[in-house]
A and B are shown apart, each in its own frame.
Chain A
Amino acid sequence: MYLKNMLDMKKVMWLKGSEQMIKVNVFKKSVLIFMLLIISTVVYAHGERNQEPFLRMKTLHWYDAKWSVKNEATIQVNDEVVLEGKVHFFSRWPQVINKPDVIFLANATPGPVFIREESYLNEVPMIQSTGVELGNVYDYKVKLKARIPGRHHVHPMINVESAGGLVGPGIWITVEGNADDFVYSVETRTGQTIDNLGTYATGNVYKWHAIWGAIALFWILWWIRRPLLIERYLMVKDGQWSKLITLTDMKLGASLIVFIIGLLIYANMITKEAHKYTIPLQGGKAEIDKIPNPNEGLVYVKNKKAEYYLPGRTVTINADITNNHDLPIQLGEFTSANLRFINHHVPAAVKAVDNGYPEELVADSSLVIDDQNPIMPGETRRINIDATDAAWEVERLSSLLNDPDSSYGALLFFYDTNGKRIVSEVYGQILPTFVD
């Protein structure tokens, strides 16, 4: 009796203490959630600026990017947009992130405001992941369909396994219309037309969710209908393990296992009956061949020194350029982290900037080369490249100076006298300076 009274008292004290603890925890969580709701704001674009500079400069270089609509265009719900161009996988991939052995081509938008109808790398459909080789260029193409009205920033993106998304250049697109009017119709390989994939078989989805939800709810209620944590804890403390699970509990559990397996078999049967021809979800990787680069080795670039002049927002690169081509070449463009610096002394480079290309990504008059004379065949010349623009700061690329990996990577576009473009990588350590 005494022991029982003690146990009861302990239980009451414990219950009261737990009750208070629970109340405090609930209060704390409510305050935290409330604070999050107050301080959270809507985010629009440029989340890529949050990525470390070395990630954006030494992984992917997107170029020849084109969109089937102009920057700041307005389209309607159900209209299609095509993103295409080239993506270069930098040979000096950062050691701290996974190599692109498993990647997935996607698009970066603020949520599913577009659906992705098709995607290709080197004309191979990218429904599954694939793997690529460093130092190579691949042609990408992504076809999107507008779904949710609003003003959206739209980029191509490649997800690298265990590393995250690496985003390409983006444009603003305004989508008008009504989200309820969105329709995505497909024809299956058996000739069946599905009017709208967005709403196809949703009734079936709700039904099965309800069935499984009901089973789960029943199972939970079965256990929590009796005194739960404290009572059971005290029983364990008293060494009454065997009373925790009754014979009825075991019979019910066994019956539920049989019922669930039976339900799964039945569901499988009726699904096979309704859809005789199905293809399993593909688990393998898509294989793509790299396209041989006919210009490989035509121009060799060796970084000798690189500095970032902080007050002037200028990256200065001192490099040896060796022309192994049989025509004279000139440096036309320096590009890194989606920023393009154009040499206005090279007409082919100026022409390569499409009308309507996002202004904030092109530093128009800010590439200065100390020696504009063409580099002759067989010649090695040391040139000084100055790339000046506030974009280094706005895009938060100057924070590479605070990285444990203060190195940069970029592409240099050379043009020969016939206007042919030769792309070379340049990379090296970079240091800050306050001396102009």
Chain B
Amino acid sequence: MHFTAYQPSVTKTKELCRTINSVSDTILVLDFVEEALRKLSIELVLKKQIDDDSFVNKMVLDKKVYSSGTAKIALTDVEGGIYRLYANIQTPEHTHETKPNQRHGTGFFEFRIINSLAEESEKNLLEKNKWIFYLLFLGAIIYFMSKWYRNKSPNS
């Protein structure tokens, strides 16, 4: 399964993965690469971490066969934190087409959402504009190197 997240209002069509840097409305998309998964009944459960060891259900999508090979979950009122998206695969009994290890299984994908806007607002002026200092530092290096080269040159 391939996981992708989108935040249309923030990053437009950019594909996000393990770290999502905003608490805006988010769309999670699962693509089933393996063809066999399109014939299986899959339950999707989104859980959010509440402390080190436990996760609580945030959203549950009932068991369904995704014949087009793709499933999506739209999240609104998003909070920062660590999430897990579980895919529970179940097949009916006596299915000769599925292999034993496909008949029942659960996997999850963990990702986190960061409230980067809040973090950004807590930064001071220096931290917000640190790129200026990198640029000045680079300029200083270029200046001193060119000065050293000029002094070294026999014609100077």
Residues of A within 8 A of B (CB): 310-313, 359-360, 363-366, 388-391, 393-394, 401-402, 432, 434
A360 & B31 in contact (Cβ 8 Å cutoff): no
A365 & B67 in contact (Cβ 8 Å cutoff): yes
**Which of B12, B27, B68 has a CB less than 8 Å from the CB of A363?**
B68
| CA A311 to CA B73, docked complex, whole Å | 9
Specify which chain B residues have a CB less than 8 angstroms from the CB of A402 in the assembled complex. 13
Specify which chain A residues have a CB less than 8 angstroms from the CB of B83 in the assembled complex. none
Specify which chain A residues have a CB less than 8 angstroms from the CB of B12 in the assembled complex. 432
Given A311-B27, A311-B29, A394-B33, A434-B8 contact (CB < 8 Å): yes
Interface 1/0 per residue, B1-22 and A, CB below 8 Å: 0101010100011000000000
Is residue B72 contacting chain A, with contact meaning CB distance below 8 A?
Answer: yes
**Which of B27, B33, B35, B70 has a CB less than 8 Å from the CB of A359?**
B35
B8 & A391 in contact (Cβ 8 Å cutoff): no
A313 & B70 in contact (Cβ 8 Å cutoff): yes
Given A366-B68, A388-B70, A389-B70, A432-B31 contact (CB < 8 Å): no
Residues of B within 8 A of A (CB): 2, 4, 6, 8, 12-13, 27, 29, 31-33, 35, 67-70, 72, 74
A401 & B70 in contact (Cβ 8 Å cutoff): no
Specify which chain B residues have a CB less than 8 angstroms from the CB of A364 in the assembled complex. 67
What residue of chain B has the Cβ atom nearest to residue A431's Cβ?
B13
**Which of A366, A390, A401, A434 has a CB less than 8 Å from the CB of B32?**
A390
B4 & A393 in contact (Cβ 8 Å cutoff): yes
What residue of chain A has the Cβ atom nearest to residue B74's Cβ?
A311
| CA A389 to CA B67, docked complex, whole Å | 8
Specify which chain A residues have a CB less than 8 angstroms from the CB of B72 in the assembled complex. 311-312
B29 & A313 in contact (Cβ 8 Å cutoff): yes
15 contacts between A and B (CB under 8 A): A311-B29, A311-B72, A312-B72, A313-B29, A313-B31, A313-B70, A359-B35, A366-B68, A389-B70, A390-B31, A393-B4, A393-B31, A393-B70, A394-B69, A434-B8
| CA A360 to CA B69, docked complex, whole Å | 10
